Structure 1
Amino acid sequence: MTRDESERKARFLSAYDEQLRTDAETPGAINVTRHGPLRLVTFPNGRGFVTYQNLGATEEPALRRLVSEGSTYFQTDPEITKVEWKTRAHDTAPGLHEALLEHGFMPDEPESIMIGEATALAVDVPLPEGVTLRRVTEEADVRAMSAVEDATFGEPVLRETADAHLRRLALRDGMELWVAELGGEIVSVGRLEPVRGTSFAGIWGGATRPEWRGRGIYRALTAARARSALALGKTLIHSDSTEFSRPILERSGMIRVSTTTPYLWRRQPA
């Protein structure tokens, strides 16, 4: 890595920690409770979420107590069915992995924290013949998009996914839903999340049907969202990316500044 690349990475990571690890991280939350450095967040449909801006100089015994108390907060609420504890590789958190395992959290696949200039992504990308991009707002379109999103990520197609998107649209908080389609069939989807009061917009939920991958559609959908972000005054794009999307974003000029690993707890049936 060159000196310029190293400085750019450090600048992006600093902006990420300062601007995004706040309320900006949890749009659509029902409730946010502060517990020391922790943010204990409740979302619709029985979802809990734990995050923090930093853990400071928290030593292992204190960190273990925080895990125990954060876990108890959610596990004693019968409405909560699953909880995600979001960790970042660049945090200093001695004993966190072991403490999470002790309280029933299991690590999921790590993802890359990607950041880049919106102008680098907002380029013209040729699409396969007949494929078009558009922003969707109508309920029928949102439900069709959500079904593709669930199925592509290997999840059951749930009405609740679309309900959550529709609730967010009703808030008019800037979230945008985008699709690529051919002959009325949705082949790829993605979400744009402008972060109020920051330089950032997030690109999330990128999912392309397997038979349509490798044909430039995801990159084109990313470019469309980047252009929309620039129109809203956002200069930086961020995303937590799987190994499917990371190489595409890197080719577009985004860089990996760190990684994030979600630890998941699910309530077992009585």
Structure 2
Amino acid sequence: MNPDELLAAYDEQLRTDAETPGAASVTRLGPLRLVTFAGGRGFITYQDLGDADADEIRRLVGEALEHYRADPGITKVEWKTRGHDRAPGLHQALLENGFVQEESESIMIGEAKLLAGEVELPDGVTLRKVTEPDDVLAMCRMQGEVFGDEPGDAEQMTQAMLSRLAKDDGMELWVAEADGVIVSAGRLEPVAGTEFAGVWGGSTRPEWRGKGIYRALTAARANSALARGKSLMNSDSTEFSRPILERSGLLKVSTTTPYEWRR
């Protein structure tokens, strides 16, 4: 599949309710899907904005934010943009409403078999799936440290992940450990009703990078995706993980930039 075909599959198959497994609720506002997750997280996404002009988009941004402001349990909201969308005036409208632009990432897509296989790990490093609360908390705290999250975010994310695990919707949490300490982690998100499984949350402690651990963790998740009948993999990748996925044959088809609002 060429990049245009992969991007079309992404837009058609993933930019639906399939994009937000584990949502506590979803409210429609025109083309927008206003999603609420456990732990006080809001998430705004859409398949496209149609022919909306800058004035209409400004109105949608304001009304979407009011939806979340009305719920005191919501502490932060992410608006997920994509670089290939037609969205006149969206950047300015988000800033005017108090959203802060975060770092852009590459949307990577390719065949799962390209990522699969076995990758040699450094001595003393092992991989496993985790499901127990203490393990999930340790994983979320490590990821929070690597990503520079706010204090308390790890605890909120832990509750969200445990809620997902209790639903048994296919999500898998994977960690790499050295001497009992988590040094890398990520999750697998098989998307029901599609060809896709996503690899998300990939993070490795700085002192453990460049040793093949992230690649091994990704291969383990790809092997699991293939076993579940998924043929395509997708990931929103930082500049740390993008080159690794590119070397495995995945293609950059667009970019995504989150904008975040906090109460």
Q: Same fold (TM over 0.5)?
A: yes
Task: Describe how 1:17-28 pairs up with structure 2 within 5 A.
Answer: 17-28=11-22
* Pairing partner for 2:221 from 207, 220, 225: 225
1:8: which partner in 2? 2
Root-mean-square deviation (CA, aligned residues, Å) is: 1.3
Q: How many residues align?
A: 261
* Pairing partner for 1:56 from 38, 42, 50: 50
CA drift at 1:144: 2.1
Give the Cα–Cα distance (whole angstroms) in 2 for the partners of residues 14 and 230 of structure 1: 21
2:81: which partner in 1? 87
In the alignment, structure 1 residue 33 sits paired with structure 2 residue 27: yes
Give the Cα–Cα distance (whole angstroms) in 2 for the partners of residues 224 and 247 of structure 1: 18
Give the Cα–Cα distance (whole angstroms) in 2 for the partners of residues 69 and 141 of structure 1: 39
Partner amino acid for 1:98? Q
Give the Cα–Cα distance (whole angstroms) in 2 for the partners of residues 86 and 164 of structure 1: 19
1:162: which partner in 2? 158
Give the Cα–Cα distance (whole angstroms) in 2 for the partners of residues 143 and 152 of structure 1: 14
Give the Cα–Cα distance (whole angstroms) in 2 for the partners of residues 56 and 217 of structure 1: 42
CA drift at 1:152: 1.8
Provide Cα deviations, 1:80-125, integer angstroms capped at 9, x if missing partner: 2211111111000111111111111121111111111000000221
1:42: which partner in 2? 36
Q: Which consecutive segments of 4 or more residues in structure 1 shift more than 4 A? A: none
* Pairing partner for 1:187 from 156, 174, 183: 183
What percentage of aligned pairs have identical amino acids? 67
Give the Cα–Cα distance (whole angstroms) in 1 for the partners of residues 12 and 26 of structure 2: 18
1:3: which partner in 2? none
TM-score (norm 1): 0.93
Between stretches 228-237 and 73-82, larger displacement belongs to 73-82
Give the Cα–Cα distance (whole angstroms) in 1 for the partners of residues 180 and 99 of structure 2: 41
1:151: which partner in 2? 145
SS state at 2:55 partner: helix
Give the Cα–Cα distance (whole angstroms) in 2 for the partners of residues 168 and 142 of structure 1: 12
Structure 2: any 5+ residue segments left out of the alignment?
none
Partner amino acid for 1:128? P
Contact kept? 2:39, 2:159, Cα under 8 Å: no
SS state at 2:169 partner: coil
Give the Cα–Cα distance (whole angstroms) in 2 for the partners of residues 185 and 100 of structure 1: 39
Structure 1: any 5+ residue segments left out of the alignment?
1-6
Give the Cα–Cα distance (whole angstroms) in 2 for the partners of residues 14 and 117 of structure 1: 15
Partner amino acid for 1:256? K
